[in-house]
Amino acid sequence: MTLLNDIVSADGRKGGSGETLAIRGGRPLRGRVEVKGAKNLVTKAMVAAILGESPSILRDVPDISDVAVVRSLLEVHGVHVTDADEPGAFVLDPAEVESAHFEEIDAHAGASRIPILFCGPLLHRLGQAFIPDLGGCRIGDRPIDFHLDALRKFGAVVEKLPSGIRLSAPNGLHGANIHLPYPSVGATEQVLLTAVRAAGVTELRNAAIEPEIMDLIAVLQKMGAIISYEPNRVILIEGVDRLRGYDHRAIFDRNEAASWACAALATDGEIFVGGAKQQEMLTFLNVVRKVGGDFEIHEDGILFRRGGELKPVIVETDVHPGFMTDWQQPLIVALTQATGESIVHETVYENRFGFTQALVQMGADIVVHPHGLQEGPRRVPRRNLEQAAVINGPTPLHGADITVPDLRGGYSHVIAALTAEGESIVRNVGIISRGYEKLFDKLAALGADFDVLG
Ligand code: EPU
């Protein structure tokens, strides 16, 4: 069994540990990187394996610490995880699923948000579940009220304890009519993973429809589930009694692909992102074009570079098919090099501009308006989240001593340091291994000049 503090993730480093890089920037990143399966699908598909009566095979699994955390959590629940017939593929055998000991589960508290998705599958298999306090990036309150409300509608009894949440289903789970207050990715996955084996039909309205969710639906259909996607964010799930294992190659990681694209724009380099596909990135590619970037679509990936001087842009983050919240951080680094005033509105999370402080320290002209701008164009007034970042460029960036705050913000700090003239010290980079596989190897392959200080 893998113990959480033994988890060694991307680049052979301990998961989640702080690490420091000395980065000498000011040179373009050039070369090819490969992106594997999406963190935000793979971790959910691993949980789905609990629902099967036979082993599942998941392919293109990235070597990242979020995967290691979910693997460890599956193992403490009796799922046997072994290597499959090709590199980056796992066999997940749920034959001996069992309740884990409190101490084993509690060791995962604060490590990831994925444990909340164990609820439905464990309730179906064992009639009970315990979920520790959740972690993930500190980018807002990130509550779980939609999840718990949905689980109650399926018939689960939810008991909140100081150490976590205990759930039981004394009368089994039944289909439900659920209308999400917001198209939450996690809550949509919660409903899917619970409804597939609940008795009767579940109608989910205002569902998230991200490509990773469509891929999870594909996984569940391979397992025997009956799920139809109706117009206007409605998903219908007809519960079935039994599910089997799946064999699935995960959808590519759009967030990593967009990150490398922005690195090419920011450093005036040229990066071929192997494994990236156009369809799932249409919205992002439109913004790349508007900002003066250039891209070439190939069968095996997408090539990104500048198409001339970078231009300012106004974007608003949104649920799919909008511009993803996970894309704004690396984009903002590129926008520091665009001529004119750019505006980025963040509408998904309430606190996702903290990373810009380090960019300002490096010479960027970025002003965050926590309560929004008094005027200026907006696409759709969505939610109460009005915060906006105004970026004026181009500003030469210079080296600084900065500390990574979270996953996407951290990647942006690294790219900013590579864009900046002079040496930067970037601390706490271990957190980036939650979502970026072999980051150091990839940076080295692209010609980045850096040392790992330990
Ligand atoms: N929300 C609630 N109540 C809930 C659930 C969500 O108010 O019960 C709110 C959140 O606070 C947030 C908004 O709804 O303001 C959207 O949250 P959502 O549930 O959609 O996000 P998530 O499932 O927690 C996933 C990804 C995030 C990504 C978002 C949006 C995973 C593990 N995480 O989070 O990815 O930003 O969807 O696409 O899939 C990342 O990869 O760095 C990352 C943070």
Residue range 213-271, pLDDT digits in tens: 999 999 999 999 999 999 999 999 999 999 999 999 999 999 999 999 999 999 999 99
Atom of ligand 1 nearest to the CA of 385: 15
CA torsion through residues 440, 441, 447, 452, sign: positive
Residue 133: per-residue pLDDT: 73
pLDDT category, 109, cuts 50, 70, 90? low
Catalytic residue among 47, 50, 137, 266: 137
- The answer, yes or no, to whether any atom of ligand 1 lies below 6 A from the CB of 144, is yes
Q: How far apart are the first and last CA of the chain?
A: 27
Residue 21: per-residue pLDDT: 97
Residue 291: per-residue pLDDT: 98
- The answer, yes or no, to whether any atom of ligand 1 lies below 6 A from the CB of 408, is yes
Residue 175: per-residue pLDDT: 98
- The answer, yes or no, to whether any atom of ligand 1 lies below 6 A from the CB of 317, is no
| Residue 162, number of CB atoms within 10 A of its CB | 5
Enumerate the H helices of 185-253 as residue ranges. 185-195, 211-223
Residue 376: per-residue pLDDT: 58
DSSP 398: B
Alpha carbon of 389 to ligand 1 centroid (Å): 20
- The answer, yes or no, to whether any atom of ligand 1 lies below 6 A from the CB of 145, is yes
Are 250 and 41 a contacting pair, CB within 8 Å?
Answer: yes
Alpha carbon of 413 to ligand 1 centroid (Å): 22
Known active-site residue 119: no
Q: Looking at 291-379, which runs of residues are DSSP E strands? A: 293-298, 301-306, 314-316, 340-345, 365-369
- The answer, yes or no, to whether any atom of ligand 1 lies below 6 A from the CB of 302, is no
Tokens of 425: 């010290």
Angle at 366 between CA 361 and CA 369, to 5 degrees: 125
Helix (H) or strand (E) holding 419: helix 407-419
- The answer, yes or no, to whether any atom of ligand 1 lies below 6 A from the CB of 64, is no
Are 420 and 399 a contacting pair, CB within 8 Å?
Answer: yes
- pLDDT, tens digit, for every residue of 151-190? 999 999 999 888 788 999 999 999 999 999 999 999 999 9
- The answer, yes or no, to whether any atom of ligand 1 lies below 6 A from the CB of 187, is yes
Higher pLDDT, 106 or 154: 154
Buried b (16+ CB within 10 A) or exposed e, 174-184: bbbebebeebb
Domain range 7-35+252-452, its CATH number among 1.20.140.10, 3.40.50.300, 3.65.10.10, 1.20.1740.10: 3.65.10.10
- List of residues 6+ apart from 356 with CB closer than 8 A: 332, 364, 366, 368, 389
Peptide bond into 211 cis (omega under 30): no
Q: Whose CA is nearest to atom 5 of ligand 1?
A: 144
Taking the whole predicted model, whether its pTM rises above 0.85 is answered as: yes
Q: Whose CA is nearest to atom 11 of ligand 1?
A: 142
Alpha carbon of 440 to ligand 1 centroid (Å): 27
Alpha carbon of 184 to ligand 1 centroid (Å): 6
326 is in an annotated binding site: yes
Residue 203 has pLDDT above 60, yes or no: yes
Question: Of 142, 325, 386, which is best to mutate to test ligand 1, by the most ligand atoms within 8 angstroms of its C-beta?
Answer: 142
Q: How many residues does the chain have?
A: 454
Q: Whose CA is nearest to atom 28 of ligand 1?
A: 326
Helix (H) or strand (E) holding 411: helix 407-419
Alpha carbon of 142 to ligand 1 centroid (Å): 7
Same CATH topology for 7-35+252-452 and 39-249: the answer is yes
- The answer, yes or no, to whether any atom of ligand 1 lies below 6 A from the CB of 356, is no
Residue 380 has pLDDT above 90, yes or no: no
Alpha carbon of 152 to ligand 1 centroid (Å): 20
40 is in an annotated binding site: yes
Domain boundaries of the chain, sorted by first residue:
7-35+252-452, 39-249
- List of residues 6+ apart from 173 with CB closer than 8 A: 120, 123, 124, 154, 155, 156, 194, 197, 198, 199
Find residue 125's DSSP bridge partners: none
Look up tokens 């989240």; give the residue.
385
Distance (Å) of CA 433 to CA 22, 46, 64, 330, 411: 17, 19, 6, 16, 10
Question: Of 35, 46, 160, 184, which is best to mutate to test ligand 1, by the most ligand atoms within 8 angstroms of its C-beta?
Answer: 184
348 is in an annotated binding site: yes
Are 258 and 330 a contacting pair, CB within 8 Å?
Answer: yes
Residue 8: per-residue pLDDT: 35
> Helix crossing, 39-48 with 65-76: angle to 10°?
10
> Across all residues in the chain, what is the average pLDDT?
91
Domain range 39-249, its CATH number among 3.65.10.10, 3.30.70.141, 3.40.190.10, 3.50.30.30: 3.65.10.10
Are 428 and 1 a contacting pair, CB within 8 Å?
Answer: no
